[in-house]
Amino acid sequence: MRKGKPFDMNKKPNKPRWYLKIVEFLVAPFYLLFSNAHVKVDREVKKLKGPYLILSTHASFIDFPQIVVGLMPKTTGWVMSIEEFRRSRFLMGGIGGMPKRKFTHDIVTTKHIMYYIKKLKHTCTIYPEARFEFAGINERLDGALGKLCKVLGVPIVMCMTNGNFLNSPQWCKHPYRNIRQEAHMYQLCSKEEVLSLSADQIQARIEKAFEKDEYKWQVEKGYHIKCKDRAKNIHKILYKCPVCGEEFKMDSKGIHLWCNACGSKWEMDTLSRLNGVNTDKGFSHVPDWYRWERAEVEKEVANGTYHFEDEVRIEEYYNTIVNFVEVGNGKVVHDENGFTITGTVDGKPFEINKPVSSMYSCHVEYDFLGKGDAFDIATSDNSYFMFLKTAPNYLTKMHFATEALYDYYVRNK
């Protein structure tokens, strides 16, 4: 049952409230202390006086307190997914939060960012990957970031994080792996460079700065993970067997990953490398396995065989008071026409089509809020979370396919 008005995306953001600044400054250092998390801030960043734009990689919640500590006694506003406001509009808005519907071409959030930096003269932080990392490597960025930076005309600060993903990967947030977590904040572009470089040049510099490999970093640093559940749920992203080629037959528990179709099994060592137990095939480096799966999906898209459909339970994020409301059921079809969802919502016929050109990627959540695997389809006015009813462990492939379809039918054309 809906109570109150729908979430207002157009409400102007405000600077962090002074009393919430105090809370942040008191809580964030302790959060880092007890999480073995650290932050290094270059002198150039400390010297910046005016507002600037912070771009950060995104792997876990610890990203936020690392930036808070790095900026103290200064503060920043935050661009955050609209569903984060379920915690409290007073709280999230009070710390300078600006809502965003993921992977939509709305200009509301862009206007908020411009207002925040140009009118309020305050620093703003964006997580441009718009999702947590899935395999410890960088995910796709919006191609218009360079243009946004040109319009803002302020310095760009980069925050690169390492260890955050390994400590709490998206596919298994708990238990924590207890590995050192590091953040490095540095100036990516000075104001003079932002004004003199082209939007494409700035975009290229940003994309280069976001390149990362958590698993390679771990091996180079020699940071061992002794957690007995370090491989738990890794089949959520490693869903295809490189030995027999079967999809969605993979499973994992403890320190092992295996295929239920052919019986091939791998063990994850304390440096997060996968070693074959009864096979010499496969990938020892998790990102290599992940990239191989992506390439396999790209082949399906190119030869016209990619197609997915399933029944879904539909929930809508309405507002902070009621949060998510179950509104109906439907059927999703994902193919060269994009996402097509048909069904019944609020007792009425319901249909949404998100063409391939409208989504360069998609937002997926593994066991979202303990309710099951879900993907997010947003319009300019609504955010719908579609919970798959029967498809086992499909989200990672859906993520690959959305990007592959966009590349094949839009970007490469």
Rounded distance between C-alpha atoms, residue 151 and residue 235, angstroms: 42
pLDDT at residue 24, as a whole number: 94
Residue 197: CB partners within 8 Å, gap ≥ 6? 189, 205
Tally of helices (H runs) and strands (E runs) in the chain: 12, 18
Q: Which residue has the tokens 């492939």?
A: 397
Does the pLDDT of residue 55 top 70, yes or no? yes
Report the C-alpha gap between 109 and 123 in whole angstroms.
15
- Phi first, then psi: give them for residue 47, nearest 5 degrees: -80, -15
Give yes or no for residue 193 having a pLDDT over 90: yes
Provide CB contacts within 8 A for 361, sequence distance 6+: 103, 130, 131, 139, 140, 399, 402, 403, 406
Grouping H, G, I as helix, E, B as strand and the rest as coil, residue 133 is coil
Residue at 36: amino acid letter: N
- Write out the two tokens for 24: 């942040």
* pLDDT class of 3 with cuts at 50, 70, 90: low
Which pLDDT score, from 0 to 100, does residue 2 have? 67
Give the mean pLDDT of 68-76: 96
Could you tell me where the beta strands, DSSP code E, fall in 222-294? 250-253, 256-259, 265-268, 274-276
Give residue-wise pLDDT tens across range 100-119.
888 777 789 999 999 999 99
Contact 234, 257 (CB under 8 A): yes
Q: What is the pTM of this model?
A: 0.94
pLDDT, tens digit (0-9, with 9 covering 90-100), for 325-364: 899 999 999 999 999 999 999 899 999 999 999 999 999 9
CA separation (Å) from 236 to 51, 178, 257?
40, 21, 11
Residue 304: which pLDDT band, with cuts at 50, 70 and 90? very high
Rg over CA atoms, the chain: 21
Q: Using alpha carbons, list the distances in angstroms from residue 308 to 209, 317, 331, 398.
A: 34, 25, 11, 8
Q: Is 8 exposed, middle or buried (0-12, 13-18, 19+ CB in 10 A)?
A: exposed
Cα 139 from Cα 161, distance rounded (Å): 14
Angle (CA) 57 38 29, round 5°: 105
Nearest to 244 by CA among 198, 211, 282: 282
d(CA 45, CA 76): 13
pLDDT higher than threshold 60 for residue 97: yes
Provide the pLDDT for residue 88.
82
Which segment of 189-198, 263-272, 290-299, 356-365 scores lowest on mean pLDDT?
Answer: 356-365
DSSP states along 11-59: SPP-PPPHHHHHHHHHHHHHHHHHTTEEEEE-HHHHH--S--EEEE--S
Helix (H) or strand (E) holding 217: helix 214-221
CB atoms near residue 77 (< 10 Å) = 26
What region, left, alpha or beta, does residue 208 occupy, with left being phi > 0 and alpha being psi -120 to 50 degrees?
alpha
More confidently predicted of 300 and 317 = 300
Kindly state the DSSP code that residue 119 receives in the 8-state scheme: I
Mean predicted lDDT score pLDDT of the chain:
93
Please check whether residue 115 is in contact with residue 107, taking contact to mean a CB–CB distance below 8 angstroms.
Answer: no
Q: Is the pLDDT of residue 321 over 80?
A: no
Q: What is the pLDDT of residue 111?
A: 94
CA nearest neighbour of 378 among 100, 5, 101, 99 = 101
| pLDDT tens-digit series, residues 368-404 | 988 999 999 988 778 899 999 999 899 999 999 999 9
Question: Which tens digit of pLDDT belongs to each residue from 134-182?
Answer: 999 999 988 889 999 999 999 999 999 999 999 999 999 999 999 999 9
The SS3 assignment for 94 reads: helix
pLDDT > 70: what percent of the chain? 99
